[in-house]
Chain A
Amino acid sequence: MENKNQYWRGLEELNNDPKFLAGKKREFAEGIPLEDVFTEEDGGLNSNRRDFLKYFGFGISAVALAACNKTPIKNAIPYIIKPENITPGTPNWYASTCNACAANCSILVKTREGRPIKIEGNAESPVFKGATCGMGQASLLGLYDNERLRKPKAKGNDVSWETLDAEIKTALAGSKNIRLISGTVNSPSTKKAIAEFTAKYPSTQHIQYEANSMGALAEATKRAFGKAVVPGYRFDKANVIVSFGADFLGTWISPVEYTKQWTVNRRPENKNMSRHIQLESYLSLSGSNADVRYPIKPSAEGAYIISLYNRIASLAGAPQLGTMPAVELPLDGITTMAKELWAAKGQSLVVCGSNNIDHQLLVHAINNMLGNIGNTVDLNNYSNQHYSDDAAFETFAKELESGVVDAVIFYNTNPVYSYYNGAKLAASIKKAKVSIASNTNLDETSENCQYNAPDHHFLEAWNDNEPKAGYFTFTQPSISNVFQTRQMQESLLNWAGNTSNYYDYLKNNWASRLSGETWVKAIHDGFYIQPVAASNTSFNADLNAAVSPAYSVYTTAKTKLELKLYSKIGVRDGSNGHNPWLQELPDPISKVCWDNYACIGNATAKELNIKDGDLININLKGSKIEAVPVLVQPGQPNNVIALAIGYGRTSGGKAGKNVGKNAYPASSFMNSFSFINTDITIEKADGEYELAHTQTHHTIEGRNLIKETSLNEYNKDNKSDNQDTHKVIKEQGNLITLWDERDHKGHRWAMAVDMNKCTGCGSCVVSCNAENNVPVVGRKEVLVSREMHWIRIDRYYRFSNATDNKITKEDDYNKENSGINFENVSVTFQPMLCQQCGHAPCETVCPVIATVHSSEGLNHMAYNRCVGTRYCANNCPYKVRRFNWFKYRANDQFDFNFNNDLGRMVINPDVTVRSRGVMEKCSFCVQRIQAGKLMAKMENRIVKDGDIKTACQQSCPADAIIFGDINDEKSEVRKYFENDRSFFLLEEYNVQPSVTYLTKVRNVGEKLVNT
């Protein structure tokens, strides 16, 4: 029964009083205004249990997540006030000059958010033409060297510059006989600053000293032509090149410039190529690229030069030198050489790498007879690179020892390490009342000096250089000072009482020639050319004095063991020995990194009963180099041991410390510094040592992986040795695929590698390291084949005996009676990088699609997706994939540049730093492709050929790497793909590589193709 009784709370309710009704809505007097807070859109106040649970759950998990979060917070602080010209994400480029060696190439420095991240060659420079060498590329890392001197030091203590200046000024004021020892100084403003310093302290003598001296060449030029300069060589004008041990493609004077020149005449498409003949005492980069190479003993060089002189003299009808019998090379090498040179009169070039005044004088005489002076040997546009006054330095060393020198200043040079008697020099420095060093690191010399006035890295400095007469290249800072360093020029001026900063000083020095707009333009361009007035030079020297010493050393040393000191491509004279990029750059020939070693020929090794991995002691007169690892090196002349200088540093930086053995003590002074030692014995030392090779098998095992032909054969048939190209296979229908052909619309990126131009110098490798943040892994990891380089240069040897000139199988050349003379070897370089296959074997096997094909023909790698099964690397026929075995950054096990905050400044922000456990590989510099496309898009145009250059291509001094869009019919790379020399590696597997290689053509008489 329903209760029909109704009760009212009052008459107001009964009467439906509006006031009451309004109040009735709210049971309680004053509610919380939730309706105002929760709008209808939020679901209003109609929340139910589910919502409660949702929010509750969310809250709990959010709190839990927040509590779990241990990710370190790293703040990227934006610019509060945007600096002028810096847009985050956009690189700025500054023209500058490379100071990694005294070749002083013009460069461009790429900076991002105010820090330099890459060095490129300055393509507008008429001398250097836009390439760099490996050392130049790596010098960038020196800027971020955590071990650089950070502050001035006086007697081991950090002091302020003011204190240092005051102390030094007082000390210098009381000094007589001040010596300023520097590296090559070819900077006019620096010279002026030095002059100002000398004016203030008149007892100052300035001596230029280079570890790997070219002093003899300048001295010989002085004797022959009256100018103490290194001539300007023009390999581009030479049709016949004879080099006596000058590694002009690798380490000699100005290798980038010379490589650019040399490649000009190495195009078989011109039906003609230069003929390059090399006589040398170790297998150098130039020797490995020569058409004809004669291994000779260093002591025989003089005799061969004289014989060549005499042969040419008889062709020229000039008088013979000396009365000694002619020395001949196998197969009448000298006679043939003389004929070829004579036939190319005025277009030939003879160079000599020895730091021997007599030899250089004779070579000048030969060039003079051949009419090369003024053509291929330019004495007007001479070179100021690598100048060294050996005799002056030798005198200085004696003076210092005797205690005559009161004050010594070392600027950008490290003679305690590189002088043959460095230990004595170190002791002598202590005898000077004042010793000052201005180097970037605390090296062997600096640590023996009382005062350290640390110099800027060149990327922080202002300067001008004149590497070639009339060619001035400017250095401008691309970063503000990292540490409290000061340019040495400024220090010298300061000590001389001139407090001007060096920029003003430099600008004033140029004011008469460059000011206002022209000055800005010169700095912008990075170089300035002031034509040199031509002057006539004539050869005028007595050669007879050179003859008998050359013959006597030849006859006395004939069967003796000799030591040849050479410099390696990466570390060179050792001044950059603490640079991990250079230490990990494999030697182009031996493929060894992180070491030097005694190269010994096969026959000599057998005779001495030593093998790879043995250790030997090299006994010098009065000292010895102990426990040098042995490398049995094909191409090494018998009875000659070649050992690289630049190793065995004892300070300067941990990457170079105690790496290899110091070979400088084996050098000597004989009118100039000599890097040949004919007075050695060796003995086997205890123990074994494994060298870190990046390539452990050295021949192609008869496989069809490289193609080479001779110029004659090529001229008869452009497809010589390359008949079985992709096209032919395809026409025969032998290529079957399970996959759909890809749609190649739009861009299709591709690369051509001209094996005929590639010299194997390794510049691309270092360039790639810098561009793509490739980690350094160290010797131990290289020993277990775990180097991370994205591009490598495969080097293959080919041997020959009386019947066969294509012996490449291990079983064949290791045979007892193979009949092979291992002194002769033919070398081929093959840069190897990801081939960006159209049907990539890596892509099909990845379980998680971490490596995928792009619509532009690239094979991408998605690091974030990679789970690290390594299946892709196993299935890659080119073995170009690299796995992150460890965490290579912020890991004390890999104490290189990625292990400190400063070193990590070099990281390219456009490229991911890979984590542990993921695969990586060459991306064709996809970040550059994207940047190029973006640029074109912003300019509302299509991408032009040449807009995009990969890092390896950009730094290549030989222009051997060409990158572009194969779908662009006018592109350079398309032309290379259509070249008859073009072939693809392992094309029969139908993986459709995007990289084509071009047959190597040698300018030799012998037949290289089996028909």
Chain B
Amino acid sequence: MSYESPIRDQLVTGGKTYHDVSSDITRPLENAPTKSWWFGFSISSIVLAIWIGTTTYTMLVGIGAWGLNKTVGWAFDITNFVFWIGIGHAGTLISAVLLLFRQKWRMSINRSAEAMTIFAVVCAASFILSHMGRPWVAYWPIPLPNAFGTLWVNFNSPLVWDVFAISTYFTVSLIFWYCGLIPDIATVRDRAKTKMRKFWYGFFAMGWTGSTRTWHRYEVISLILAGISTPLVLSVHSIVSMDFATSLVPGWHTTIFPPYFVAGAIFSGFGMVLTLLVVAREVMGYKNYITTEHLDAMAKIVMVTGTMVGLAYITEFFVAAYSGMEYEQYAFFNRAFGPYWWAYWTMMSCNLLAPQVFWSRWARTTPWFLFIMSIIVNIGMWFERFVIIVTSLHRDFLPSSWTMYTPTLIEVSILIGSFGLFFFLFFLFIKFLPSINMAEIKSIMHVGSDDDHTHHTEHHDKPVTEKGAVHGV
């Protein structure tokens, strides 16, 4: 008996031709924006305005506009920073790691996932800037030759590692994304009817001809960039986690942090990808490109990473108990049963318990349910960072300094506003750039061959299952 792995479902359904793909995917670019786009864009612009207003206010008045205090020096700011950085990870994972593993199902989602990465890093970077007491000297943690004398950065500080990690991450992600866009921009250029469109898309297409040589280079650069990006998936969030892990704050000083943070990042990133795609495929009419099978695959990743994160939570508790360190023990006890217990249990239920529903295929393939779940995952992961940062800081070594942290309206507005920034950029992206990689999608279509699986039975002796898998050959 030999085993033939089941033939998978078509990754693109609906019997699309190459022309269909081009016209489907460039439709939003070439036509006037739809009402729903305008709706979404207007809302995000308004929210962005809130972000601009509140961030500017903070920078004018001082960090005192927030609820931080002598004991809790970071709260919403760094929570949001880590949250957004984490969101970005799914993009890189999808585009780089899945490319290396030749996972072709990624092709219809990698473009928007990468865009999401870039916009998420922009949001994260905004928090690095705004959390500083003196944002006008924000470039000082960069090791620039300077005229200040012998001043240099502190390479022992995880914040300096962060500077490197995040700037590298942003640069590589941007280049990777842009390289992937070139053939598609060229397609848009070729279809363009106005001079302006021809000029601008032509400019960004960088003279793409579609010759074999350019395709070859395209493939090579994609692989190289994927190779560079892959370690970044692990390194960026590991380094972010070291902001905490290398400190001595009980609840932060934990060796489990790097893998735990990476898993959490992928978890939250896929949550965000789901949020975006479930909506996008509905609004943009991409259901044939982003099929329920894509959703299913992503839901599985969400479940696995969610469980990994949950394991990490429990492991931390075990280690705290086993360590015999009273400060460590108290920090974890305080997380679960202290004044911020609600944040902890929100995190636990959203990140560990909720994703367990994905054992059911229905849950994995029902878009509206996935949408709700993706929001839950995002809430849970935001709370994870809040729990780690605030509950560890607010009660550390000396009980005399224990205090509570309450966010101000400004902080909440900046958090909400950062979503405005994100979606503002995302709406611009889907309006002006092809949000699905047309070139790659075309490579996995079976145009010309028959799309109907039932015809294949003629060539097989053995019965074919409902889904087209052939057994026993």
Contacts and interface: CB of A to CB of B under 8 A. Distances in A.
Interface in A230-282: none
Contacts of B157: 844-847, 871
A847 B68 contact: no
A874 interface: yes
Q: How large is the interface on B (under 10, 10 to 19, 20 to 34, 35 or more residues)?
A: 35 or more
B323 interface: no
Given A874-B247, A916-B133, A847 B70 contact: no
A868 B153 contact: no
Contact of A875 (B67, B131, B247, B401): B247
Interface in A912-967: 915-919
Contacts of A917: 62-63, 132-134
Interface string A785-829: 111000010111000000000000000000000000000000000
A989 B398 contact: no
Given A844-B156, A869-B132, A885-B64, A875 B249 contact: yes
Interface in A883-929: 883-887, 915-919
A867 B132 contact: yes
Given A703-B326, A848-B140, A868-B133, A882 B400 contact: no
Contact of A847 (B71, B74, B131, B163): B163
- Nearest first, the 6 closest Cβ-Cβ pairs linking A and B are A868-B133, A917-B133, A885-B64, A870-B73, A794-B400, A785-B69
Contacts of A986: 397
Given A847-B141, A871-B157, A884 B62 contact: yes
A871 B128 CA distance: 12
B154 A785 contact: no
Given A883-B63, A884-B62, 7 more contacts: A832-B400, A846-B157, A847-B141, A867-B138, A871-B73, A883-B70, A885-B63
Contact of A916 (B62, B69, B243, B406): B62
Interface string A857-872: 0000000011111110
A114 interface: no
Interface stretch (A398-406, A560-568, A675-683, A692-700): A692-700
A784 interface: yes
B221 to A, nearest CB: 33
A849 interface: yes
Contacts of A869: 131-133, 141, 159
Given A847-B159, A868-B133, A916-B133, A886 B398 contact: no
A873 interface: yes
A989 B248 contact: yes
B367 to A, nearest CB: 42
B105 interface: no
A989 B253 CA distance: 12
Chain B, interface SS category: loop
A879 B140 contact: no
A705 interface: yes
A883 to B, nearest CB: 7
Chain A, interface SS category: loop
Contacts of A55: none
B151 A849 contact: yes
A881 B73 CA distance: 10
A826 B137 CA distance: 49
B160 interface: yes
A849 B153 contact: yes
Nearest to B66: A885
A886 B60 CA distance: 10
Interface string A754-785: 00000000000000000000000000010011
Contact of B67 (A784, A796, A844, A846): A784
B152 to A, nearest CB: 7
A867 B68 contact: no
Contact of B133 (A785, A849, A866): A866
B133 A865 contact: no
A781 B330 CA distance: 28
B70 A882 contact: yes
Question: In the complex, which of the residues B61, B134, B163 has the most CB atoms of chain A within 10 Å of its own CB atom?
Answer: B134
Contact of B69 (A784, A918, A919, A985): A784
A444 to B, nearest CB: 34
Interface of B: 61-64, 67-71, 73-74, 131-134, 137-138, 140-141, 151-154, 156-160, 163, 243, 246-249, 326-327, 330, 393, 395-404, 406
Given A796-B400, A875-B249, A877-B248, A886 B67 contact: no
22 contacts: A696-B404, A697-B395, A697-B400, A698-B399, A701-B399, A703-B399, A781-B64, A785-B69, A785-B70, A794-B400, A844-B154, A846-B154, A847-B154, A849-B152, A868-B132, A869-B131, A871-B157, A875-B247, A879-B396, A886-B64, A916-B134, A917-B134
A700 to B, nearest CB: 6
A270 B42 CA distance: 79
A877 B396 contact: yes
Contact of A696 (B159, B397, B402): B402
A874 B397 contact: no
A483 interface: no
B330 A701 contact: yes
B323 to A, nearest CB: 12
Contact of B393 (A845, A865, A874, A887): A874
A848 B132 contact: no
Contacts of A698: 399
A349 to B, nearest CB: 33
A873 B397 CA distance: 13
A470 interface: no
A576 to B, nearest CB: 26
Contacts of B131: 869-870
A923 B243 CA distance: 26
B397 A878 contact: yes
A849 B154 contact: yes
A841 B247 contact: yes
Contacts of B247: 841, 845, 871, 874-875
A830 B399 CA distance: 12
B56 to A, nearest CB: 15
Contacts of A989: 248
Contacts of A703: 326-327, 397, 399
Nearest to A698: B399
Given A697-B399, A701-B330, A871-B159, A848 B62 contact: no
A882 B151 CA distance: 23
A886 B59 CA distance: 10
B420 to A, nearest CB: 25
A845 B69 contact: no
Contacts of B153: 847-849
Contacts of B67: 784
Given A845-B157, A847-B154, A873-B70, A867 B396 contact: no
Contacts of B395: 697
Contacts of B132: 867-869, 917
A871 to B, nearest CB: 6
A730 B311 CA distance: 36
Contacts of B404: 696
Given A870-B133, A883-B70, A785 B403 contact: yes
A699 B400 CA distance: 8
A809 to B, nearest CB: 10
Contacts of A700: 399
Interface in A517-545: none
A842 to B, nearest CB: 10
Contacts of A915: 134
A885 B404 CA distance: 17
A697 B159 contact: no
B380 to A, nearest CB: 24
A847 B160 contact: yes
Given A703-B326, A845-B247, A874 B399 contact: no
Given A703-B399, A871-B157, A787 B70 contact: yes
Contacts of B63: 868, 870, 883, 885, 917
Contacts of B327: 703
Contacts of B159: 845-847, 869, 871
